[in-house]
Chains A and B, each alone.
Chain A
Amino acid sequence: MNITIVFRKELIDALRDRRTLTGALFYPLLGPLLMFLLFSVIVSTFSEQADKLLVLPVQGAEHAPHLIEFLEQNRVQIEAAPADPETEVRLGNLDVALIIPASYGDDFRAGRPATVQIVMDESRQSASVNIQRTEGLLEIYSGQIGALRLLARGVSPITNHALAIERHDVSTPQSQAAGFLNLMPYFIIFTVFTGGMGIAIDTTVGERERGSLEPLLINPVARAELVLGKLGVTLVFSLFAVVETLIGFTLMLNFVPLDELGVRVDLDPLAIVGIFLMAAPMVLLAGSLQMIIASFTRSYKEAQNYLGLLPLVPALPGMFLAYLPVKPEVWNMLIPTFGQQLLINQLMRGETLNILHVLLSVSLTLLVGATLTWLAIRLYEGEQVVLGR
Chain B
Amino acid sequence: MIEVQNLHKTFKKVVAVDDVSFTAEDGHITGLLGPNGAGKTTTLRILYTILRPNRGTARVDGYDVVTQVREAQRHIGVLPDSGGLYPRLTAREHIRYFGRLHGQNGAALEANIETLIKLLEMQDIAERRCEGFSHGQRLKVAIARALVHQPKNILLDEPTNGLDVMSTRAMRGLIRRLRDEGKCVLFSSHVMQEVSALCERIVAIARGQVVANGTPDELRQATGQANLEEAFVAVIGSEEGLML
Contact = CB atoms under 8 A, between A and B. Distances in A.
A383 B101 contact: no
A216 B52 CA distance: 17
B59 interface: no
Contacts, number: 72
Interface stretch (B75-83, B112-120, B202-210, B224-232): B75-83
Residue among A9, A13, A210, A386 facing the most chain B CB atoms (10 A cut-off): A9
A218 B146 CA distance: 9
A212 B142 CA distance: 10
A215 B100 contact: no
Contacts of A213: 82, 84
Interface residues of B, number: 33
A386 B50 contact: yes
A210 B85 contact: yes
B84 A215 contact: yes
B144 to A, nearest CB: 12
B86 A212 contact: yes
Interface in B20-78: 48-52, 69-71, 73-74, 76, 78
A5 interface: yes
Nearest to A211: B84
Contacts of A5: 97, 100-101
Interface size range on A against B: 20 to 34
B145 interface: yes
A151 interface: no
B6 to A, nearest CB: 20
A207 B129 CA distance: 16
A126 interface: no
Interface string A242-253: 000000000000
Contact of B80 (A9, A17, A215): A215
Contacts of A9: 89, 93, 97
B98 interface: yes
Interface string B124-162: 000001000000000000100110000000000000000
A212 B79 CA distance: 11
Residue among B82, B89, B98 facing the most chain A CB atoms (10 A cut-off): B82
A216 B80 CA distance: 10
Contact of B101 (A2, A12, A210): A2
B177 interface: no
A221 B145 CA distance: 15
Interface string A3-43: 00110010011001100000000000000000000000000
A213 B80 CA distance: 10
Given A5-B100, A215-B146, A220 B74 contact: yes
Given A215-B84, A218-B48, A383-B52, 13 more contacts: A5-B97, A12-B93, A13-B86, A210-B86, A212-B82, A212-B85, A212-B86, A214-B80, A215-B83, A215-B98, A220-B69, A220-B70, A383-B51
Interface of A: 2, 5-6, 9, 12-13, 16-17, 207, 210-221, 383, 386
